[in-house]
Amino acid sequence: MKVILRESVPDLGEMGQLVSVKDGYARNYLLPRKLAVRADSGSAKQIEHEKRIIARREEKQRTALGALAGALGGVTVELSVRAGEEEKIFGSVTAQHIAEKLREQGYDVDRKRIALEEPIKTLGVYTVPVHLGSGIDANVKVWVSAQEEPT
């Protein structure tokens, strides 16, 4: 049976591709899960229309992410933490801490997008990459300073 894929299916093909599969595979798996439609002229036009809509949505998302990346490029996150001798801090600064500070500044970035190789354990200035998706990345400057001791 010839079907047109509505979504990318591993080991079979990409969205919009015309593929020939066994009847049972199409009837029992692809069609009930709405992963494919039977191949005819109407379904081909429908799939092309869906592809155009998805392409427009992805372009809008890329534009929004590009704007966010540009804004994040100039952002400095300042964290005051308790520190001991030799500029070592008690505990560590994680992606969660950075995400919270970004949220306070008005940037909604998920902590999983912050590519911190390992938690920060010393005072200083760090450049931390943020992977926003769709191949768009930004670098955020993180300044870790010692907390003022109350006297």
Per residue in 119-131, pLDDT (tens digit) is 999 999 999 999 9
**Domain spans of the chain?**
2-67, 69-146
What's 2-67's CATH class? alpha beta
Tokens of 27: 């009837």
Q: For the whole model, what pTM was predicted?
A: 0.67
Q: How far is CA 36 from the centre of its chain?
A: 27
Which CATH code for domain 69-146? Answer: 3.10.430.100
Q: Mean pLDDT over residues 138-144, rounded?
A: 93
Residue 148 has pLDDT above 80, yes or no: no
Nearest to 68 by CA among 108, 35, 28: 108
Give the torsion sign (CA, 21, 27, 33, 38): positive
